Copies of this chain bind each other. A is one copy, B any other.
Amino acid sequence: MAETTEPGGPTGPSGPEEPTLDEQIAAYQREFRDLDPQVEKVVSALGRLNRRMNVAYGRQVAALGISNAEWEVLKTLVLAGKPYRLGPGELAKRLGLTPAAMTHRIDRMAGEGLVTRDRDENNRVRVIVELTDEGRTKWLEAMEMATDFEEDLLQDLTPDERGSLGEMLIRLLRRVEHAQPDAGGRLTDLD
């Protein structure tokens, strides 16, 4: 409830509250002098936004009976274009996973009928993972939900604002990609 944390009385049965974004920035400034609040605002908002969005995506695809992880695989295969085929190694690289994790994920998805796993005829070392029709249908359903959600998310922004937001994000992206040439980028952690 909208009650400020009252120190002193044994009033509050509830603990401390999660800080809002502004409170968080104020707290950092208190604890760490050398901080540009404008920079921190952008970075913190980016982080929070992405976390919330991932939670939202996760819930949506869960309604289709697939996990966020599986959806990522479907997206990657579709992005590869027809005939929607990639090897486990390539998939792993694009998804930022180890080959071992990829093997297991493909196992699962093949068991669910979302993809097939076959050896390459011409080179029997290689394995080919291919999207099934069912997998493509799932992708399409997820994509429809996702785009609806994304449209709604950006609803408050004018076309001009959308354009300049996208342009600025891409500039940031370029900068981080230039500084970090993707050398074995494992995601140590989640968000």
Contacts and interface: CB of A to CB of B under 8 A. Distances in A.
B96 A187 contact: no
A176 interface: yes
Contacts of A104: none
B16 A187 contact: no
A38 B180 contact: no
Contact of A39 (B56, B82, B162, B190): B162
Interface string A29-53: 0111011101111110111111111
Nearest to A123: B2
A188 interface: yes
A47 B50 contact: yes
Given A86-B16, A168-B165, A54 B2 contact: no
A28 B27 CA distance: 42
A100 interface: no
Contacts of A38: 159, 162-163, 166
Given A49-B176, A156-B171, A165-B165, 13 more contacts: A5-B122, A19-B79, A36-B151, A39-B154, A42-B169, A46-B53, A46-B169, A52-B173, A56-B176, A69-B189, A72-B191, A156-B175, A164-B164
Identify the 3 closest CB pairs spanning chains A and B, nearest first. A68-B189, A58-B188, A45-B169
